[in-house]
Structure 1
Amino acid sequence: MVPDMFRLTGRVAVVTGAGRGIGAAVAVAFAEAGADVVIAARTGTDLADVAGRVAETGRRAHVVAADLSEPDTAAGLAGTARAEFGRLDIVVNNVGGTYPMPFLDTTPEFLDEAFRFNVGTAHALTRAAVPVMLDGGAGAVVNICSTMSWAAGRGFLGYGTAKAALAHYTRLAAADLAPRIRVNAIAVGSTLTSALQVVAGNPEIRARMENATPLRRLGTPEEIAATALYLASDAGGYVTGKILEVDGGVQAPNLELGLPDL
């Protein structure tokens, strides 16, 4: 039965940035599909709430409250999964991001930090996870990218460059790790998370964003989680090295920061 292909019964996943928003939605969706999860983020209280939601599904969540901006910390999550659950089948590299910055204010140090947080941590965890996944026979990696990995908008140099690197990292890692480990990414459009609420909470700005989106609305974390479930499960078993665009159909950024010409 096709619906059974979306089940994750008996599998174990690591989800970073799982305290809220997309990461939390992914962790809960995976638990609903039958997986146990290692959930990691900076804020323990947020993770405790997500762990409670996982427990309501009948699955287990192991909480790791840590600063995942350090690649070594992210890498340690693979060993945590093995120690707590005896295996690791899925990695979702969701933690990342950086704030907008005008071009002349974007220092080389800022760019380095953006690259490390968005790409370095993802590689560190994926690299550490590969031997554990291979012990179980196979695995799947889902990287959370952005429409800004291909679209050009003022103020997003650091963020967009880092996410573009993560997108191509996805293609390269998929080639390196095939056929036993699949690697895919989701290019996420404007999604109603707490991070976006800073701008989407303004009715005028939200209306402009929605009007610039062909589907005339913003996305939800659950819609991204559903895509992650597809890519992580047997339903996506013939997909690797791909970046799925889940963005309401945008062909250009739907949020302009209004930065002036130099």
Structure 2
Amino acid sequence: MTAVLPLFSLDGQVAIVTGAGKGIGRACALAFARAGADVALAARTSSDVDAVAAEIAAMGRRAIAVAGDVADEAALDRLVARTREELGRITLLVNNAGGAGPNDPRRMGAAEFSRVLCWNVQPAYLLIQKAAPHMRDAGGGAVVNISSTAARYAQKHFSAYGAAKAALNQLTRNLAQDYAPHVRINAIEPGTIMTDALAPFLTPERKQALLDGTPMGCLGQPEDIAAAALFLASPAARWITGKILGVDGGVEAPNWR
């Protein structure tokens, strides 16, 4: 009988995590390191990823901080090259960088709409394309894309972000077919997560409305998403690919007002 706990170990694995300086990305990077992985941390702000790298080093794991914009393909090439050269291999990838606020479809023009779509989809596509050969050379790998419940909700003022994350979900499903069996590709749809990005919009009244609309009675923490990402990246999920996992406190309809 196979022991259970080793199925959730990432010993010997090397992960790239984008948007790793704060919030969900930081939580994923720390969780992967605690599970045994070495981690390449990517974000636009050097001080943020340097701080996370120091936390990981204090655990006795290796970490490199790679500052850059994932919207710049040359930055993605540097990220992959440095990870391969300094950490020796690439086996895991968390595409966390992305996001957008509400939009008014009567005012948003083509350029801004395109920017939201590209920012949430293109870097994930390119990083999978660039990392997958290294994963195959290492004997296999896993990708976790961080999507959003906005991808499946019908709600006002989220046409751009919702369309972008829906595209990321379908990209996940299709690329899982392309890269199987050597690389597994799944996505997580976080619900309302308590991050620095959310805080400025969270008035007491809005927070209470969100709590009232959440069956679990509390908002999510970055660590809730990190735990799901760890599962999908681990050997415990070896027969799971092309799937979208909702981590949302049981919310099945928009609760943002």
Q: TM-score, normalised by structure 1?
A: 0.95
Aligned residues: 255
Cα 1:71–1:247 change in 2 (3 A) is farther
**AA at the equivalent of 1:190:** T
**AA at the equivalent of 2:83:** A
Correspondence 1:239 to 2:240: yes
Stretch deviating more after TM superposition (24-33 or 151-160): 151-160
Aligned to 1:229, the other structure's residue is in SS state: helix
**AA at the equivalent of 1:233:** S
Query: Per-residue deviation at 1:253?
Result: 1.3
Query: Per-residue deviation at 1:175?
Result: 0.6
Cα 1:136–1:60 change in 2 (3 A) is same
Correspondence 1:228 to 2:235: no
Do 1:75 and 1:127's aligned partners in 2 also have CA atoms closer than 8 Å? no
Do 1:75 and 1:126's aligned partners in 2 also have CA atoms closer than 8 Å? no
Aligned to 2:147, the other structure's residue is in SS state: strand
Q: Deviations over 1:219-261 (max 9, x none)?
A: 00001000000000101111100000000111111112xxxxx
Aligned to 1:105, the other structure's residue is in SS state: coil
RMSD: 1.0
Q: Which runs of 5 or more residues in structure 1 are unaligned?
A: 257-262
**AA at the equivalent of 2:144:** V
The equivalent of 2:145 in structure 1 is 143
| Aligned structure 1 segments of 4 or more residues deviating by more than 6 angstroms | none
Aligned equivalents of 2:233, 2:77: Cα separation in 1: 19
1:157 pairs with 152, 159, 165, which one? 159
**AA at the equivalent of 1:115:** L
Query: Per-residue deviation at 1:32?
Result: 0.3
The equivalent of 1:129 in structure 2 is 131
Q: Which runs of 5 or more residues in structure 2 are unaligned?
A: none
Q: Deviations over 1:15-70 (max 9, x none)?
A: 00000000000000000000000001011111121112111211011001112222
Q: Deviations over 1:137-159 (max 9, x none)?
A: 10100000000001011111111
Aligned equivalents of 1:246, 1:71: Cα separation in 2: 30
**AA at the equivalent of 2:216:** L
Aligned to 1:103, the other structure's residue is in SS state: coil
Aligned to 2:94, the other structure's residue is in SS state: strand
Quick one: percent identity of the two aligned structures? 47
